[in-house]
């Protein structure tokens, strides 16, 4: 990084908006699972398998991350958005089960490539003791997707009656995001001195030799498995338990989006003040309590939505607090570490996508909640072993 390089509000806004578009495509299958499932003529088991495969694409992310550590963050971000746009265009022009399958995998991989490079870009330019706030602001894209993106998807699906209706808009927004990045974000291809040979052959081995990295990756996997075990079936649970239909599920998604915005906002405000590790621990405990509360929601829609609000708020607070913690585990290979963290999140989603519908079908929602608590406890146990450098702890004090 050159001494004059800074992260401006414009860059932060562009990153957040680009992530909002990509997050919308990722998250739209959850509240409208039955719409896509029925439109494609797939069983719940088959669709669950597709989502599991989508999550497993995250395991490829660390293989692409060395590009950002070698050639620069901007090139990797453009590669990610370009791949995302290609996936959306594929369904736009050739809507079918096969193209949906390919597009879902492409768009998931694209997001991981973009996100790892973006987080490394921020890590290069923002000191650790302020990084939680900045990364927290970009994480608002998750909630913005649920507040604005998902209701828009619901409107498009309801108006057209076609499962492929959201994809042309996603493709257009992807093109606009690429143009904005090209024009407004400076390149950084000369900022990283490590050779491609070193990064490609030994980058993953290097990060795994740092004790904090594998412990943090295990923690990321466990916390995301807990969330996905509930996340994948909440739409079915609301529909089956309370009779909510398409428009109401879109409104429920907006409620969850507000919760996630609260979690992201609290993290951006508190994580640098309280410390990353303490914030993650508190978030996991609150998320477990919220999962238990869902089971005892009393059969009322308002109490169920309140429980989901707290569940998603606490999870988002946890994830946003964990990202700056992992960003300093090995600064010389920051993009590779972040991509590996995202891969662990994806693996956790794959595990949750595999077991969530099974648990719901065979034992119903209370068992999903109990398994979510179990995985949160595993994450807390791993967090207790996660240590960062003493001088970084002092900076947070």
- The DSSP code sequence of 293-361 is HHHTSTT-HHHHHHHHHHHHHHHHHHHHHHHHHHHTS-GGGHHHHHHHHHHHHHHHHHHHHHHHHHHHH
Give the integer Cα–Cα distance in Å for 216 and 222.
10
> Average pLDDT for residues 194-213, to the nearest whole number?
65
Residue 395 scores a pLDDT above 50:
no
| Cα end-to-end distance, the chain, whole Å | 27
pLDDT at 60: 76
Question: Six-digit token pair at 237?
Answer: 């649970």
pLDDT at 32: 85
Domain ranges of the chain: 9-396
Backbone torsion region of residue 292, taken as left when φ is above 0, otherwise alpha when ψ lies between -120 and 50, otherwise beta: alpha
Q: Is the CB of residue 24 less than 8 Å from the CB of residue 312?
A: no
pLDDT at 124: 83
Which has more pLDDT, 140 or 359?
A: 359
CA-CA distances (angstroms) from residue 225 to 160, 267, 377?
A: 34, 21, 12
Q: Is the CB of residue 131 less than 8 Å from the CB of residue 81?
A: no
Which has more pLDDT, 188 or 19?
A: 19
Instruction: Write down the residue that tokens 């879902």 correspond to.
Output: 104
pLDDT at 227: 93
Query: 391: exposed, middle or buried (C-beta count within 10 Å: 0-12, 13-18, 19+)?
Result: exposed
pLDDT at 389: 59
Residue 382 scores a pLDDT above 90:
yes
pLDDT at 181: 94
Residue 251 scores a pLDDT above 80:
no
**45 Cβ contact partners less than 8 Å away, ≥ 6 residues apart:** 357
Query: 9: exposed, middle or buried (C-beta count within 10 Å: 0-12, 13-18, 19+)?
Result: exposed
Residue 185 scores a pLDDT above 70:
yes
pLDDT at 46: 82
pLDDT at 285: 96
Residue 383 scores a pLDDT above 90:
yes
Mean pLDDT score across all residues of the chain: 82
Give the integer Cα–Cα distance in Å for 324 and 122.
10
pLDDT at 206: 75
pLDDT at 193: 46
pLDDT at 286: 94
Least confident of 20-24, 100-104, 157-161, 388-392: 388-392
**180 Cβ contact partners less than 8 Å away, ≥ 6 residues apart:** 14, 18
Least confident of 120-129, 278-287, 295-304, 323-332: 295-304
Least confident of 123-127, 163-167, 170-174, 215-219: 123-127
Question: Six-digit token pair at 89?
Answer: 């265009």
> Average pLDDT for residues 15-42, to the nearest whole number?
89
1 pLDDT tier (thresholds 50, 70, 90): very low
Buried b (16+ CB within 10 A) or exposed e, 216-253: bbbbbbbbbbbbbbbbbbbbbbbbeeeebebebbbebb
> Average pLDDT for residues 165-170, to the nearest whole number?
95
Least confident of 130-134, 160-164, 223-227, 391-395: 391-395
C-alpha closest to that of 82 among 171, 184, 145: 171
DSSP single-letter state for residue 126:
S
- For 89, what's the count of Cα atoms within 13 Å in the CB-facing half-sphere? 10
Question: Six-digit token pair at 324?
Answer: 């700056």
Give the integer Cα–Cα distance in Å for 351 and 328.
27
Which has more pLDDT, 196 or 65?
A: 65
Q: Considering the entire predicted model, what is its pTM?
A: 0.75
Q: Hey, what CATH class is 9-396 in?
A: mainly alpha
Q: Is the CB of residue 1 less than 8 Å from the CB of residue 191?
A: yes
Residue 234 scores a pLDDT above 80:
no
**156 Cβ contact partners less than 8 Å away, ≥ 6 residues apart:** 165, 166, 169
Rg (CA), the chain: 20
167 pLDDT tier (thresholds 50, 70, 90): very high
Give the integer Cα–Cα distance in Å for 237 and 383.
31
Instruction: Report the percent of the chain where pLDDT is more than 90.
Output: 31
DSSP single-letter state for residue 24:
H
246 pLDDT tier (thresholds 50, 70, 90): low
Q: What is the pLDDT of residues 204-218, one digit of tens each?
A: 777 777 788 899 999
Which has more pLDDT, 349 or 380?
A: 380
pLDDT at 299: 64
Least confident of 70-74, 250-254, 268-272: 250-254
pLDDT at 25: 93
Query: 110: exposed, middle or buried (C-beta count within 10 Å: 0-12, 13-18, 19+)?
Result: buried
DSSP single-letter state for residue 59:
G
Q: Is the CB of residue 134 less than 8 Å from the CB of residue 7?
A: yes
């Amino acid at each position: 990084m050159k001494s004059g390089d800074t992260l401006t509000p414009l860059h932060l806004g562009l990153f957040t908006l680009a992530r909002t578009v990509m997050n919308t495509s990722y998250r739209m299958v959850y509240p409208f699972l039955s719409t896509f499932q029925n439109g494609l003529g797939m069983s719940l088991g088959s669709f669950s398998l597709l989502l599991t495969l989508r999550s497993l694409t995250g395991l490829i992310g660390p293989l692409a991350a060395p590009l950002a550590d070698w050639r620069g963050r901007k090139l990797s971000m453009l590669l990610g958005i370009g791949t995302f746009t290609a996936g959306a265009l594929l369904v736009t022009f050739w809507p079918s089960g096969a193209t949906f399958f390919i597009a879902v995998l492409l768009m998931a991989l694209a997001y991981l490539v973009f996100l790892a490079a973006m987080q490394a870009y921020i890590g290069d330019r923002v000191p650790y003791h302020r990084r939680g706030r900045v990364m927290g602001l970009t994480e608002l894209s998750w909630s913005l997707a649920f507040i604005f993106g998902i209701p828009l998807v619901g409107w498009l699906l309801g108006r057209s009656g076609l499962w492929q209706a959201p994809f042309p808009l996603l493709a257009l927004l992807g093109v606009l995001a690429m143009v904005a990045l090209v024009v407004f974000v400076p390149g950084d291809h000369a900022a990283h001195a490590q050779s491609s040979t070193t990064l490609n052959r030994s980058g993953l081995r290097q990060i795994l030799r740092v004790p904090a990295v594998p412990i943090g990756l295990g923690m990321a996997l466990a916390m995301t498995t807990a969330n996905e075990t509930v996340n994948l079936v909440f739409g079915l649970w609301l529909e089956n338990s309370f009779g909510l239909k398409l428009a109401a599920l879109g409104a429920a998604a907006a409620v969850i989006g507000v919760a996630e915005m609260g979690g992201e906002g609290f993290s951006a405000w508190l994580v640098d003040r309280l410390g990353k590790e303490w914030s993650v621990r508190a978030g996991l405990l609150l998320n477990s309590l919220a999962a238990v509360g869902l089971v005892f929601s009393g059969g009322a829609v308002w109490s169920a939505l309140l429980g989901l609000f707290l569940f998603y708020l606490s999870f988002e607070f946890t994830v946003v607090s964990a990202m700056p913690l992992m960003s300093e585990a090995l600064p010389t290979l920051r993009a590779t570490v972040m991509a590996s963290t995202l891969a662990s999140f994806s693996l956790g989603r794959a595990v949750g996508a595999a077991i969530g519908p099974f648990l719901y079908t065979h034992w119903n929602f209370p068992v999903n909640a109990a398994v979510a608590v179990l995985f949160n406890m595993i994450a807390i146990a791993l967090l207790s072993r996660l240590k960062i450098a003493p001088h970084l702890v002092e900076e947070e004090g």
